[in-house]
Structure 1
Amino acid sequence: MKANARDIRTALERASPDYRLYLLHGPDASTAAELASLLGIAMGADAERVDLDGAALKNDPARLADEAASMSLFGGARYIRVSGIGEESAEAIATLLAADRAGNPVVAIAPTAKATGKIVKLAIDSRAALAFACYEPSTADAERIAAGIARDHGLRATNDAARRIAAAAGNDRAIMLREIEKLAIFLDAAPDRPADLDDIAIDAVGADLGEAEQTRLVEAFIDGHSAILGQELDRAAEAGTSPIPWLRAIARRLLALAEMRSDIDAGGAVDAVLKRHRVFFREEAATTRALRRWSAPMLARALDRVRQAERDVMAPGNAGTILADRAVAEVARGVERRG
């Protein structure tokens, strides 16, 4: 069945036994990951979590249903989390929904799945599943979200401050939350002792990455030019900039390529796909080169890695930009080796 934001959150928070599958599809992987974490909380800290991905389900479509029906090794609660799935997992999803029993709930994140795709249709048509579309908020919505999160933390954000936070986080709710938590600590703010959040406070905590530098970094990552990427990462580190903007820029580029890759894998001609997705003519050569180099599974895995790096960087007590640098460098080296 199709779910709205309230329905999916309520069902995940309760680990509702009415549903054996929660399908979180759409490009906002951060929101999907945040929702997926609710199931883990509902299942309990001692629950056994089984992690699968699209490649595993493609090679063994029956495995998802088998895992959903299996008992925990320790006799406690058990659930399955699947990341990076797409249409290649349609048979696995169909098998799960048609199984006689499936006592362990499944939450699946499908960032490249289209609303009209087969796996989404399977979930919507089943009373044992909930499908929720995760889309990034508009700029205006993101600014309102930033202001609301700030208010919850005792911060009175100016319009400019809310705009800068949303932009720096790439409109990512989870990253906005982490950034605002740091600002609240810096300003010693809380709901019972509110403080003003303005540009001065944001400047004191972090700086923005210039667009030109960001573009060069993204291009080096997508092309698998490790040496150039290293130079750009060094420049960003020397400038003291947050890695969040360029991580979000890489994620947007990967999502755009994934959508085009899906169309090509479905039989579309490259030139026609580029026109359909309105690729700027000066970027056509680079985009064509990237589509030849990146497969759908590679794009899904890279997107997962970049999104995880975002969350790691914003987590309390993290290792700073080292986490982001390492994540993108390892992916870029893999692309470089592939040639």
Structure 2
Amino acid sequence: MVALKAAEIDRYIANPPDSVNLILVYGPDTGLVNERAQALISKAAAENDDPFSQVKLDAADIAADPSRLIDEALTIPLFGGRRTIWVRENGTKSVLPAVETLLKNNDFSAFVVIEAGDLKKTAGLRKKFESSKTAIAIPCFADTIKDVDRLIDEETLSAGLQITKEARNSLHTLLGADRIASRGELKKLCLYAMKDNRIEVHHVEEIIGDASAFAMDELIDAAALGDTVTLDHGLERLSASGTDAGVIASQALRHFQMLHLCRLKANQRIPVEDVIGGMRPPIFWKRRAKIVRQVEVWNEDFLERALIRLNDTVKDARLNANLSFAIVSHTLLAIAQVAKASNRRR
């Protein structure tokens, strides 16, 4: 089967067919990957409260004993019901040999979910699932504006709050890189605005603007502007907070893709301020002056080089979890040095 289309995924997860017992959930949005894997496992395990029928395995466990996965899948629950197996593939150890055994011997009743990172089309694990007639691959990419709106609606409705259009537009510029991080920020925002019964722009600025914007936006702006002091400080704070380095790299890549698009439009003699003002989703008004400066600092050639470097960094961070923060930090510092040199020339 080919990977599910974006419009099909939520409907499929809400009601996965009993005929499918092997699913791969993968993509650059680690929070969304985890959320969807959890939802699938919870749905399958809802009718079975036997804790011994719910198994969690790490890639290292399976790499050390490739037959472990098929043994677990063939085990019949003592008290009946459906056995669930949740496998986390971290990029350092391959579960492909064990999965191949499952695909060849798919006559098992257990429900197996493989949670993986960002897999290219050529990745062996992804190719096996997408070419299989019995397994399903579910991609998880960064949230679109529509996805963020749905997430906002879910959390505000749950909290019994309304939200203004201006506050919603502000959230569009701050959320979307990682589903779990976005949901956490929204829960915090709803709790903060609870006493006012409605979320206004000032609530967003006071709660998400100070924490989340620094955590991502200020850090990336500092790199793009050559502000190494702010960048060093931001990296220290993010490292101490346990922020996923892969999320930082993915957000930086998206930011430089946006800068590249702006630079191309500016090359057509469109004023940079007009280019920035017309971006969708809209850029948070407090950041616009910084973005204008970044478009002026970076030329097309340097931006293309930065995009190649960031794309490689996203991949390397996923494949080397123990070194991911050092890898991302090194890339952002290198980008900041380029921006600083460009500033001096200007």
TM-score range, shorter chain: 0.5 to 0.7
- Equivalent residue for 1:36? 37
In structure 2, relative to structure 1, the CA distance for the partners of 1:52 and 1:15 (3 Å cut) is: farther
In structure 2, relative to structure 1, the CA distance for the partners of 1:188 and 1:211 (3 Å cut) is: closer
Letter in 2 for 1:168: L
- Equivalent residue for 2:150? 145
> Which of 291, 312, 318 matches 1:299?
318
Query: Which digits, 9 at most, give the CA deviation of each residue in 1:133-191, with x for residues without a partner?
Result: 222233x33553354335523333233322332433344343333222222222227xx
In structure 2, relative to structure 1, the CA distance for the partners of 1:87 and 1:211 (3 Å cut) is: same
- Equivalent residues in 2 for 1:259-270, closer than 5 Å: none
Alignment partner of 1:248 is 2:250: no
Alignment partner of 1:200 is 2:219: no
In structure 2, relative to structure 1, the CA distance for the partners of 1:286 and 1:27 (3 Å cut) is: closer
Q: Is the 8 A contact 1:169 1:245 kept in 2?
A: no
In structure 2, relative to structure 1, the CA distance for the partners of 1:156 and 1:12 (3 Å cut) is: closer
Query: Which digits, 9 at most, give the CA deviation of each residue in 1:310-330, with x for residues without a partner?
Result: xxxxxxxxxxxxxxxxxx58x
Query: Which digits, 9 at most, give the CA deviation of each residue in 1:44-79, with x for residues without a partner?
Result: 4534222222x5555654443233223568987442
- Equivalent residue for 2:126? 120
CA distance in 2, matches of 1:164, 1:112: 28
How far off its partner does 1:288 sit?
6.5
Q: Is the 8 A contact 2:89 2:115 kept in 1?
A: yes
CA distance in 2, matches of 1:28, 1:105: 23
> Which of 102, 111, 115 matches 1:109?
115
Q: Is the 8 A contact 1:254 1:299 kept in 2?
A: no
Q: Is the 8 A contact 1:149 1:177 kept in 2?
A: no
Alignment partner of 1:69 is 2:69: no
How far off its partner does 1:211 sit?
4.3
Greater RCO, 1 or 2 (C-alpha within 8 Å, sep 6+) = 2
- Equivalent residue for 2:162? 156
SS at 2:321's partner residue?
Answer: helix
Q: Is the 8 A contact 2:92 2:320 kept in 1?
A: no
In structure 2, relative to structure 1, the CA distance for the partners of 1:152 and 1:172 (3 Å cut) is: farther
SS at 1:188's partner residue?
Answer: helix
Q: Is the 8 A contact 1:8 1:130 kept in 2?
A: no
CA distance in 2, matches of 1:287, 1:59: 35
Gap runs ≥5 in structure 2: 225-229, 256-299, 330-346
How far off its partner does 1:22 sit?
0.8
Using structure 2 for the length normalisation, give the TM-score.
Answer: 0.58
SS at 2:69's partner residue?
Answer: helix
In structure 2, relative to structure 1, the CA distance for the partners of 1:14 and 1:70 (3 Å cut) is: farther
Aligned length: 272
- Equivalent residue for 1:82? 88
- Equivalent residue for 2:193? 187
- Share of identical aligned residues, percent? 22
Gap runs ≥5 in structure 1: 219-227, 257-278, 307-327, 333-339
Using structure 1 for the length normalisation, give the TM-score.
Answer: 0.59
**Root mean square deviation, CA, Å:** 5.0
CA distance in 2, matches of 1:199, 1:132: 35
Q: Is the 8 A contact 2:55 2:84 kept in 1?
A: yes
Kindly name which structure, 1 or 2, has the bigger radius of gyration based on alpha carbons: 2
CA distance in 1, matches of 2:254, 2:207: 29
